[in-house]
Chain A
Amino acid sequence: MAIQVRIPTILRTHTGGNKTVEGNGDTLAALVDDIDAQHPGIKGRLVTDEGKLHRFVNVYVNDEDVRFTGALDTAVKDGDSVTILPAVAGG
């Protein structure tokens, strides 16, 4: 088992066009490092030089926004589903 990560269209240049990739880690930060090792460059699109999530990137673990659960320190485990999406307007 691993953690499924759904990749938005604009970031698929880093994943060879794949919509989902798999990775491992105990925290979201570790998972992002693992994904970046397999798909170089993707971390730079998600995380700033200061080590924070980019302002216009939303990441959800099992549909919950990680900004309310510890951001990159959010715990993840095998079988979780991670979704990355750009911020969009509603209304």
Chain B
Amino acid sequence: MARFASLVESLGNTPLVGLPSLSPTPDVRLWAKLEDHNPTGSIKDRAAIAMIEAAEKEGRLQPGSTILEPTSGNTGISLAMVARQRGYRLICVMPENTSIERRQLLEMYGAQIISSPAAGGSNQAVAVAKGLAAEHDDWVMLYQYGNPANAEAHYTGTGPEILADMPSITHFVAGLGTTGTLMGVSRYLREQKPGVQVIAAEPRYGELVYGLRNIDEGFIPELYDADLLDSRFSVGPDDAIHRTRQLVEREGIFAGISTGAILHAALGIADKEVAAGRRADIVFIVCDGGWKYLSTGAYAGTLEEASAALEGQLWA
């Protein structure tokens, strides 16, 4: 059944597609879960809808309420769509070094954007949002980094969908941002199929993003539990862009740059499995499509030019 009463209800049940060209051997296969097939085109729809519905249930949100959220883009876009449908006002605190398309989409959905400084990246957006929340008692900060409904959406949605479609899964690879996807899916897989390796791919940005503040002011999302991961990789822009382009050239999948970073980690694991002579079904997340990142320059020119263009931008 592919008929839904409204857009929000069409959330999830995204396709899992094989990568016949990029999979190294018939025994070591890669599978892409196409989260760009969600209502606003990203995996963040799952967390956003879950967080809003949890807040409604708790009575924290009523029509006319103001939602405040620190976000580098996709969560804000998802929240903005639901907020517009349900009559909430949305204020997003967003680092100024995010792509223009993300800002345009937020504005189109009627969200208000408060910019936080580029230096310090999302850490600064979180700090600014926490400050605003303290000043405005009546604003509701859903706070994706610490809201259990974020991980829960993946525990009840993404995880079960993956295992149903790929019972022989051996590895799960996803991006590490709020950590919601990895925490929720891992918790589900560890209960249902212990032994599946859960691997995080973390974007490594240019220096500006890491800021000049003291290391003691670093940030780890409250949702994060390292025990739910088996390994964690840092992927720089060169590798992320290279893989993003490979994905579209070899498999026809036009994805955002963070997906390239995830694919890079997945292919690294695939090589190790081939070398070890093991069978593997490696499932990874396609977080969103490439549309919102065209202006970053990641898809045009040489890899060197594209990588230089991403310097200082929050590309994931």
Report which A residues bind B (CB closer than 8 A): 8-11, 45, 54-58, 60, 63-65, 67-69, 83, 85-91
Given contacts A67-B226, A91-B122, whether A83 and B75 have CB atoms under 8 Å apart is no
User: Is the Cβ of B234 less than 8 Å from the Cβ of A9?
Assistant: no
Given contacts A88-B209, A89-B121, whether A56 and B219 have CB atoms under 8 Å apart is yes
**Pick the contact of A87 from B44, B220, B230 — CB < 8 Å?**
B220
Given contacts A45-B215, A64-B233, whether A56 and B220 have CB atoms under 8 Å apart is yes
User: Is the Cβ of A68 less than 8 Å from the Cβ of B230?
Assistant: yes
Q: Which residues of B contact A8 (CB under 8 A)?
A: 207, 210
User: Is the Cβ of A65 less than 8 Å from the Cβ of B177?
Assistant: no
Verify if B257 is at the interface (C-beta below 8 Å from A): no
For B224, the closest partner residue in chain A by CB is A87
Give the interface SS of chain A, mostly helix, strand, loop or mixed. Answer: mixed
**Pick the contact of A89 from B122, B204, B235 — CB < 8 Å?**
B122
Q: Which residues of B contact A91 (CB under 8 A)?
A: 44, 70-72, 74-75, 122, 144-145, 177-178, 221
Contact with A along B224-238 (1 / 0, CB 8 A): 001001111111100
A53 to B259: give the CA distance in the assembly, Å: 29
A45 to B229: give the CA distance in the assembly, Å: 26
- Total cross-chain contacts (CB, 8 A): 105
User: Is the Cβ of B211 less than 8 Å from the Cβ of A10?
Assistant: yes
State how many angstroms separate the Cβ of B6 from the closest Cβ of chain A.
Answer: 25
A84 to B176: give the CA distance in the assembly, Å: 17
State how many angstroms separate the Cβ of B316 from the closest Cβ of chain A.
Answer: 6
- Most chain B CB inside 10 Å of its own CB: which residue of A10, A56, A88: A88
Given contacts A83-B204, A88-B209, A90-B177, whether A56 and B217 have CB atoms under 8 Å apart is yes
User: Is the Cβ of A88 less than 8 Å from the Cβ of B218?
Assistant: yes
Q: Which residues of B contact A9 (CB under 8 A)?
A: 207, 210-212
Q: Which residues of A contact B216 (CB under 8 A)?
A: 54, 56
For B199, the closest partner residue in chain A by CB is A68
A32 to B109: give the CA distance in the assembly, Å: 50
For B144, the closest partner residue in chain A by CB is A91
Verify if B126 is at the interface (C-beta below 8 Å from A): yes
Q: Given contacts A56-B216, A83-B204, list 6 more A-B pairs with CB under 8 A.
A: A10-B213, A45-B215, A60-B233, A63-B234, A64-B234, A89-B126
Contact with A along B184-205 (1 / 0, CB 8 A): 0000000000000000101111
Q: Which residues of A contact B316 (CB under 8 A)?
A: 90
Verify if B12 is at the interface (C-beta below 8 Å from A): no
For A54, the closest partner residue in chain B by CB is B215
For A64, the closest partner residue in chain B by CB is B233
User: Is the Cβ of B234 less than 8 Å from the Cβ of A56?
Assistant: no
